[in-house]
Structure 1
């Protein structure tokens, strides 16, 4: 059979040859339309396990909002290197939220009331897929984890990773962590804001080499295996808010019944406490430390808490 010809008369091979020539010049950057792959890396060794890349589309981002679409792609990986392998299975499902989908969500996702009417997620299929996975990974895991746990409490005791927060994108010269931007910097464009497409893209960027020849997924695994702590800068002076925000702290208003304070997730609570003492409290104050279990990262759960004094005797 002859090769497919585009509407402008060029074959796919001719276009690819032109793209490769452009890539040799520093004056051009080539973006390719992303298409789901059969594999997202070349790993094929003994001892392979699998990761579930998951994405949620919802009625919004507020506490009362609910999922309307879930997409998952399960991919093999080498736990020693973080290199991805072949795709094992996929899941995509829609669910009726029981109320009209807001217009701005329809515009963003293309998901309409007619499309979800009467639909429900296939919980049995989703649960079986997740059970076969060693870890769940999302791009902005705090959001996706919170959304799916509203519907499926059995997801609560699963380890999670995040292709947005766990990977050193800025160190690799990628200034924004937004999925569409990272995809562009990695050479792709695609239709964003549909669950399975976003999950596939998370797998694609995780599988590509980033620094030192290591796949980006290496850092997701490294962080998932680490011990994490949540540090609350309670009663921090108002004038320190700029420094706290610049240092990666997030403000929690306490409306959910939790603490009203700035907080950060860290692997180095001692170093973080020293920074707070010097830059925020002036050695007069105290911070609240919570140990976060490995299965509870990106959730609001924690194993226990203690106060760290910033006072010097």
Structure 2
């Protein structure tokens, strides 16, 4: 944006009657070299023919490879990757309306699997804004993603505690005064990386630092195996979810809450001492994977 237009935008904002959105620009490298240990991260986004992991296919893959520090500072973008792929069946009209990707655009295109594997091989973490979706779409096609650590910028950053109402990438960018061309893979990657480089509204912590701290923390999936059917509303109110595959209610918890939850189940659900309930320890290596999907 030119200096005169910047000045106009500033004048409008200072009145308190206007909010101005600025077009998001790709993240610029930091002017100073790293003064801390650094690591390699990936921001990944997929566009797909639908949401059925067994049937639908990736039609566009976007990846930004970046260098970040132990503090959560993002130093520079190392590589950018964006390719289209022709699926085995026509792209549904609703997907074309959402993404703008047409059958003609993907005709004869194929994502370079070897290039994807090379990009991901040295990544300490892979980040997506809906990792439970993107990870399962990616690891079925590119095995390199199956043994990476994953983090979800949508659900592993406390956006609402930081003063945001919506969790969608576009909403979060608007709250920070930006807009971007969404629903294309590489554009969403640039938007997400920029968002992660910014300080959070309330705490002032870097968004990436907060995300990494949460992602590194193991969680426990506790199964309320054999719970009485009449307690289902009680379990739902406590944010338990139903696994159709295991025919059982479950909840994901931080490790320090496991004994509190066992006490709740013993006193209010089973109404008897519990000698043992099944539980699974989940880390970033498995979280959001098909391996830990209770419906898979």
Fold similarity call, TM over 0.5 = yes
Q: 1:253 aligns with which of 232, 244, 253?
A: 244
With over 3 angstroms needed to count, the CA separation of the structure-2 counterparts of 1:270 and 1:29, relative to structure 1, is farther
Partner in structure 2 of residue 37 of structure 1: 27
Q: Which position in structure 2 is the counterpart of 1:273? A: 262
How has the CA–CA distance of structure 1 residues 246 and 52 changed in structure 2, closer, same or farther, with 3 Å as cutoff? farther
CA 1:59 to 1:76, structure 2 compared with 1: closer, same or farther past 3 Å?
Answer: same
Structure 1 residues 153 and 169, CA, compared in 2 at 3 Å: closer, same or farther? same
Shift, 1:273, TM fit? 3.1
Q: Which is worse superposed, 92-101 or 273-282?
A: 273-282
Which segments of 5 or more consecutive residues in structure 1 lack a partner in the other structure? 1-10, 303-313
Counterpart secondary structure, 2:278: strand
CA contact (8 A) 2:63 2:82 kept: yes
Indicate the residue corresponding to 1:216 in structure 2. Answer: 207
Partners of 1:92 and 1:195 within 8 A in 2: yes
Question: Which whole-Å deviations, capped at 9, do the CAs of 1:110-143 have from their partners, x for residues lacking one?
Answer: 1111111221111122111112321100001010
Task: State the Cα distance separating 1:190 from its structure 2 match.
Answer: 1.3
What whole-Å deviation, never above 9, does each CA across 1:250-285 have from its counterpart, x for those lacking one?
43322xxxx233333322333333344455545577
Taking a change above 3 Å as real, the CA distance of residues 164 and 282 of structure 1, as seen in their structure-2 partners, is farther
* Aligned residue number for residue 68 of structure 1: 59
Matches of 1:43 and 1:209, distance apart in 2: 20
Aligned-pair CA distance for 1:23:
3.0
Q: Label 1:238 to 1:102 Cα distance change in 2 as closer, same or farther (>3 A).
A: farther
Which SS does the other structure have where 1:30 is aligned?
Answer: coil
Instruction: Give the C-alpha shift of residue 288 in structure 1.
Output: 2.9
Cα distance in 1, alignment partners of residues 102 and 30 from structure 2: 31
In 2, are the aligned partners of 1:42 and 1:86 still within 8 Å (CA)?
Answer: no
Determine the C-alpha separation between the residues in 2 that align with 1:75 and 1:99: 34
Q: Root-mean-square deviation (CA), in Å?
A: 2.4
Deviates more, 1:185-194 or 1:141-150: 185-194
Q: Identify the residue that residue 166 of structure 1 maps to in structure 2.
A: 156
The alignment covers a number of residue pairs equal to 287
Match of 2:224 in 1: 233
Query: Paired residue for 1:14?
Result: 4
Q: State the partner residue of 1:52.
A: 42
Residue pairs, 1:115-264, within 5 angstroms: 115-210=105-200, 211-236=202-227, 241=232, 244-245=235-236, 247-254=238-245, 259-264=246-251
TM-score (norm 2): 0.87
Q: Offset at 1:236? A: 4.4
2:248 and 2:33 map into 1 onto residues whose CA distance is 44
TM-score normalised by the chain length of structure 1: 0.83
**Matching residue of 2:81:** 91
Q: What secondary structure, in the 3-state scheme, does the structure 2 residue paired with 1:124 have?
A: helix
CA distance in 1, matches of 2:109, 2:156: 34
